[in-house]
Amino acid sequence: MFVFEPDYTFEWPVKVKYPSAGGEETREFTGIFRLPEDELEIYERGEQGSISEVIQAVRDRLASHWVGWRDIELKGGGDLAFSEDARARLLKQRPIREAVDRALSEAVLGIREKN
C-alpha cells in the first residue's frame, strides 16, 4: 500500500568541492531534505536582479528544503548541530551552496553530474 506523506524527508550525500592546489578537494556530509511539494520549486530563481539578489534567492530556496544534516564536524572537534543560523552560515559559502543545490537536484530530479 502506498502512503502519501505530504512532508516527506530523505537523506542524500552532499559532496562539497573546495579549490585546492592543483585541483579540488571533495568533502562529503549527509544532507536531510524535505521533498518539494512541486518539483518546479527547484527551478525557481525569482525575479532577475543584481547578483546579490539572485544569490540570496538561491539561498532562500535551498533553505526551504534543506532541513538537517549528519557528519558535519567543527574544526577542533565536535559536531555542528543543525540550526537555521548554522544553515544560513553554510549557505554563504559558494562551494557548500552549489553542493547542496546539486544534491537536491540529483535526488529529486534524477540529474547526476557527469565526471
How many structural domains compose the chain? 1
Tell me, yes or no, whether 114 lies in a domain.
Answer: no
Domain that holds residue 96: 9-109
Rounded CA-CA distance 87/80 in Å is 10
pTM for this structure? 0.86
Q: Residue 88 is which amino acid?
A: A
DSSP state of 111: -
pLDDT tens per residue, range 33-45: 999 887 766 666 5
Tell me, yes or no, whether 3 lies in a domain.
Answer: no
Check pLDDT > 80 for residue 111. Answer: no
